[in-house]
């Protein structure tokens, strides 16, 4: 897989040219306030899925519009006191999976909340349980163009809000330290992680990997596979929509939302990534408002660092959010 983006010295300096909408902060402040006004207390039910060293719980929390969103909570068994927690946001087409599908975090001594992505969860072996209630106009297969002509109706308004309220919800759960919350995700989950960091105060750490929805106009021009092609196909058909589509996308561009974040961050990018071009990941990294580090994988496509990056995260997270175990 060839390198196709900027040279290394250009990558590390690259800045987005996307202009923030004048009402960006007001839009998100109003959106989140409306969702919080409708929110209800999370529901938690224990699950026996055969994991003996972890306690597993089926969590339902209030998302956009007060709609129920599903999640799994994994906690090391027989622990006392409140644990720091890692909130995991799924990649595109992924859901929360089955209760025995776990990450490294509960094994490392953290609680872990793995949330659903509404309307997704039919790919990559990670099933979902949360439908999407939004209505949308003509669009190609997939979700990226749903409601794209107005930020009020865009699908990702609901999805970003769900992720924000997942942090609210996990802070209410028994056994979780409300002041020790990290957020992580890969691809779509990485972009939403950045957005959450900019929209929710008091997050302890974030770990976005090969993030999606960063410097979107450049990604549309460079990416030759993956979800961005849904928007390319939409604009190839609805040529008259370009201005409105780009105006809507600016409200959700993680490079803009990440500017107000202040949590320590560990990024990763892959320099042969044809799904999320590496320059767009560096655009988010360079825009990010908090202390930050980045790991680059020169010979990888969108899979990025995978287990190698997990090892980096396991070394890094205790330096900014120690586990109690």
- Tens digits of per-residue pLDDT, 216-230? 999 999 999 999 999
pLDDT at 141 over 70: no
> Any idea what the Cα angle at residue 167 is, between residues 247 and 204, rounded to 5°?
100
Secondary element (H or E) of residue 159: helix 155-170
If you average pLDDT over residues 290-294, what whole number do you get? 98
Query: Tokens 């028994």, residue?
Result: 174
Q: Write down the pLDDT at residue 46.
A: 97
Q: Is 168 a catalytic residue?
A: no
273 is annotated as an active-site residue: yes
- 70 in Cβ contact with 98 (< 8 Å): no
pLDDT bracket for residue 1 (50, 70, 90): low
Which among 62, 112, 139, 187 is annotated as catalytic? 187
Instruction: Give Cβ neighbours of residue 239 (< 8 Å, ≥ 6 apart).
Output: none
Catalytic residue among 62, 234, 273, 279: 273
Q: Where in the chain are the domains?
A: 8-313
CATH of 8-313, one of 3.40.640.10, 3.40.50.150, 3.40.50.1820, 3.90.400.10: 3.40.50.1820
Q: Is 187 a catalytic residue?
A: yes
- Count other Cβ atoms within 10 Å, centred on residue 224: 11
pLDDT above 70 for 140: no
pLDDT over 90 for what percent of the chain?
A: 90
């Amino acid at each position: 897989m060839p390198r196709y983006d900027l040279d290394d010295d250009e990558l590390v300096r690259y800045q987005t040219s996307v202009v923030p909408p004048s009402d960006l902060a007001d839009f998100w402040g109003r959106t989140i306030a409306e969702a919080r006004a409708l929110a209800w207390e999370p529901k938690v039910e224990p699950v026996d899925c055969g994991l003996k060293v972890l306690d597993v719980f089926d969590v339902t929390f209030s998302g956009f519009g007060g709609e129920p969103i599903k999640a799994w909570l994994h906690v090391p068994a027989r622990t006392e006191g409140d644990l720091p927690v890692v909130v995991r946001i799924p990649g595109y087409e992924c859901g929360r999976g089955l209760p025995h599908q776990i990450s490294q975090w509960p094994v490392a001594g953290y609680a872990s909340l793995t949330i659903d992505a509404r309307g997704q969860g039919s790919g990559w072996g990670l099933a979902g349980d949360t439908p999407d209630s939004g209505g949308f106009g003509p669009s190609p297969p997939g979700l990226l163009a749903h409601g794209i002509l107005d930020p009020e109706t865009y699908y990702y308004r609901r999805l970003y809000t769900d992720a924000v309220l997942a942090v609210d919800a996990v802070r209410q759960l028994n056994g979780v330290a409300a002041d020790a919350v990290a957020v992580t995700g890969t691809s779509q989950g990485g972009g939403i992680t950045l957005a959450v960091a900019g929209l929710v105060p008091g997050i302890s750490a974030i770990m976005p990997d090969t993030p999606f929805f960063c410097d979107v106009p450049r990604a549309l021009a460079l990416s030759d596979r993956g979800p961005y092609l849904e928007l390319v196909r939409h604009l190839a058909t609805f040529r008259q929509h370009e201005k409105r589509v780009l105006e809507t996308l600016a409200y959700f561009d993680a490079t803009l939302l990440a500017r107000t974040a202040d949590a320590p961050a560990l990024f990763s990018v892959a320099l042969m990534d044809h799904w999320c071009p590496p320059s767009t990941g560096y655009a988010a990294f360079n825009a990010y408002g908090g202390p930050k580090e980045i790991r680059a994988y020169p010979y990888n496509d969108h899979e990025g660092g995978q287990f190698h990056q997990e090892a980096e995260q396991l070394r890094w997270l205790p330096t900014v959010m120690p586990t109690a175990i």
